[in-house]
Amino acid sequence: MPAGAVIVAAGTGSRMGRPKQFLPLRGRPMLDWTLETFLGMAEFERLVVVLAPETLREHGDRLRSERVRVVEGGLTRMGSVRNGLSALGPEIDLVAVHDGARPLVSREVALACLKAAAETGAALPGVPVKDTLKEVRSPQLWVHATPERSAYWLAQTPQCYRRSVLEGALEKFSDDKDATDESQLVERAGHRVRVVPSTYENIKVTTPEDLAVAGAFLDSRWGAARRESRTGFGFDIHRLVEGRPLWLAGLRLAHPKGLLGHSDGDVVLHAACDAVLGASGLGEIGQMFPPEDPTIKGIESRRIVARVLENIASKNLELLHLDITLVAEEPKLKPQYAALIESLQSLWRLSAGRVNLKAKSHEGLGEIGRGEAIACYAVATVAFP
């Protein structure tokens, strides 16, 4: 049976101040996580995202693709579902209806519901209620009764239906403006609905604290690799002169010349600092240590590195990786690779494999080629919370 999904994201965010489906969740709009999960299931031939007019204008083009149609929502949830269904195409006869604000839906749950709906006509994911339920009817909040908890399940999405079952129920109760899920209409139309055991992870993000919970679930599912990361670039060049010690990557190297500068002239650390500050959106090294500041005269560049690390830590940022290209005619640096990399790992508190170093000559060209200067390029990757 060809299957399609309608992802309903037409809410206006009355409880979150703005459309919740587009609130950032680990660096991406929440809806993008939801859509990605469905795009990863080839079983769904066609996906329709239903948006409110404002968000459709802003995000419609970005979300559309060969498999994804984007349509405008109706005045009620059921109106939106109806619009989504009509955009699915006539070949689709098995339909999943999913809340755009459930970004943690798993493949396993979605496919189990789809399979159950193919067999029975209607199935929804659910979890048993954990807390004791109280029935409260009075405005003074007196407890009216304590229902038998074991009989109650929380309904989630994607709710899956044979298309004829869902369309029949929507048509029959087309004047129902208050239905909060499709299943209640299908039930009222006399069709049995099967519950498929789901997970408590598949939450609906409704209030601000739900976003924090969803973020924590995403972290545990994907690990730190799925956090937002940003890239920064840094460059530095210093003159190579007689009578100065040569400091590179925090190491003092034996060489008759050294780098000229207000500090120790360590081009590697300076380029790396600028790359890290760039990725972190914190400007540049010159703003943190103005060259005219007398206290930086002769400052060890390792102290600049420590300050940069403190700065990014105070913003909850984490340096993930440094890639460094040194350009020097002399000294020959390849024999020193291991020591230089170890020094960088230690200064930047990076574990093994998180520093890459390359050294190039300048083929005898220009100032660097004549051995009058050493330059360095650096690229840093920083993870955002």
Interface contacts to Mg ion, rule CB under 5 A: 236, 270
Give the nearer residue to Mg ion in terms of CB position, either 170 or 268: 268
Cβ 302 to Mg ion, closest distance in Å?
A: 14
Cβ 269 to Mg ion, closest distance in Å?
A: 8
Tell me the three state secondary structure of residue 155: strand
Cβ 259 to Mg ion, closest distance in Å?
A: 8
Q: What's the gap between Cα 79 and its chain centre?
A: 31
Cβ 324 to Mg ion, closest distance in Å?
A: 14
Cβ 270 to Mg ion, closest distance in Å?
A: 4
What's phi and psi for 241, nearest 5 deg? -130, 160
d(CA 260, CA 238): 6
Tell me the three state secondary structure of residue 193: coil
d(CA 116, CA 160): 8
DSSP-derived pairing of the beta strands 44-51 and 3-9? parallel
Give the nearer residue to Mg ion in terms of CB position, either 182 or 236: 236
Cβ 200 to Mg ion, closest distance in Å?
A: 53
Q: How many other CB atoms sit within 10 Å of the CB of residue 12?
A: 14
Q: How many other CB atoms sit within 10 Å of the CB of residue 355?
A: 22
Asked whether 104 and 214 are in contact (CB, 8 A), the reply is: yes
Largest CA-CA distance found in the chain, in angstroms, rounded: 93
Give the nearer residue to Mg ion in terms of CB position, either 201 or 236: 236
Give the nearer residue to Mg ion in terms of CB position, either 71 or 272: 272
d(CA 48, CA 46): 7
**Residue of minimal Cβ distance to Mg ion:** 270
Give the nearer residue to Mg ion in terms of CB position, either 77 or 270: 270
Give the nearer residue to Mg ion in terms of CB position, either 227 or 262: 262
Asked whether 362 and 368 are in contact (CB, 8 A), the reply is: yes
